[in-house]
Amino acid sequence: MLKLLAIALRLVGLGMMVPILLFLTVAAAQFVDGARDYPLIREVISLTRPVSRSIQQHVPTKIKGYDATPWMVIVFALAVRMACRNYADRLWSHAEYLAHKRALRRLRAARPANVEALKPVEAKLEELKQAPRKDRDALLRQFIEAKKRLEEERRTSARTPRATRPARAPNRGDGARRLDGGRWRALRCRLRRRRRDGVVAGPVARAPDRGEVVH
């Protein structure tokens, strides 16, 4: 919204060039003999006459026989043009300041742990807001470069995979216990078959506990 208003003010300031050129032609025609003989000059004078008459009705305009009305209009148009340009520059700078401040707020939300890294950039932004027009361009370039570095660091950290938890090294006793359990299951199956066939009598052998050693 602020940038649109700044553009509108710049257009108004640019439009002030039209009355400046028209009344400058009328003012110069007073010092040129036979200027009214030219159709273009007559057309310009007739076009500016309503404004000149309105001014002449309210303020004195004759200075040593010359009509100062065109110069009054030129000075007024130049003042309006300069005011529009200055206000447009201020509005544009303030709009850019707000946009950069929103970008820094997003960076702060994305990197809450690195708030200290944002403080120099925020200080540069506040310095940019108070800087005169002649120093604003250099400060703006420095601020944009610093903000780009922060954004690049954020993208780099986002692409870096998180450290995974290292896998636990297998315990030597785990394989032994799995092996002992498998051997004793096979042994129990063989003993059951032999007992069923009448080869072995007595209870089936019990699997050893984890703390027992198999010979």
What pLDDT does 65 receive?
A: 80
Taking the chain (215 residues) in runs of 10, the rounded mean pLDDT of each run is: 90 94 92 87 92 90 86 95 92 84 76 66 73 70 74 69 50 52 71 67 50 48
What is the DSSP annotation of 128-146?
Answer: HHHS-HHHHHHHHHHHHHH
The pLDDT score that the predictor gives to residue 178 is 52
Domain ranges of the chain: 1-91, 111-159
pLDDT tens column, 135-149: 677 777 777 777 777
